[in-house]
Amino acid sequence: MTDMLVNLQSPLLDNLQETDDFIIRPVLPPERHIVLGWVREHFAENWVSECEVACSTVPTNCFIAINGNELLGFACIDTTFRNFFGPTGVKEEARGKGIGYRLLVHSLNEMKNKGYAYAIIGDAGPVEFYQKKVGAVPIDNPPALKAIPYLK
């Protein structure tokens, strides 16, 4: 695993096509328990912890992709460290439909609007996904979080 750097001025963040299949918006505080339960069900407990942090600001730093009442995916920014993107995830049955990509571009544009020049993808799992879709490059150091012996 590696941290990755994304240039937020990249034109790759500009050309998002419209879709009617789902919308992306920040989590609203009254639905936070639903989102945290969903992340627990589909992903891992440490991601729930990170998501709690992202859901504790107003507006929240956690974005969800939804179709009506169905939650399809989520993405967080400024969570374990400022300037970090992640965690993010799309439920298994909904993968391969562009949801993860749109959550990523939406989140990175939010970071650009906050004034960051670059974003860091923390401990990136699917490195090729980030390289291909937003031009991310691996940082030639161990991931920042790996340098800290945190509780698991």
Ligand X SMILES: CC(C)(COP(=O)(O)OP(=O)(O)OC[C@H]1O[C@@H](n2cnc3c(N)ncnc32)[C@H](O)[C@@H]1OP(=O)(O)O)[C@@H](O)C(=O)NCCC(=O)NCCS
**How far is the C-alpha of 45 from the C-alpha of 52, rounded, in Å?**
11
Site string for ligand X, 53-92 (x = CB under 6 A): ---------------------------------xxxxx--
Query: How many degrees, rounded to 5, is the angle at CA 148 between CA 145 and CA 149?
Result: 115
Amino acid letter for position 81: F
CB 107, min distance to ligand X, A: 11
Per rule CB under 6 A, is residue 99 in the interface with ligand X? yes
Residue closer to ligand X by CB (options 97, 114) is: 97
Buried b (16+ CB within 10 A) or exposed e, 88-97: bbbbeebeeb
CB 124, min distance to ligand X, A: 5
Interface pick for ligand X out of 97, 114, 135, 138 (rule CB under 6 A): 97
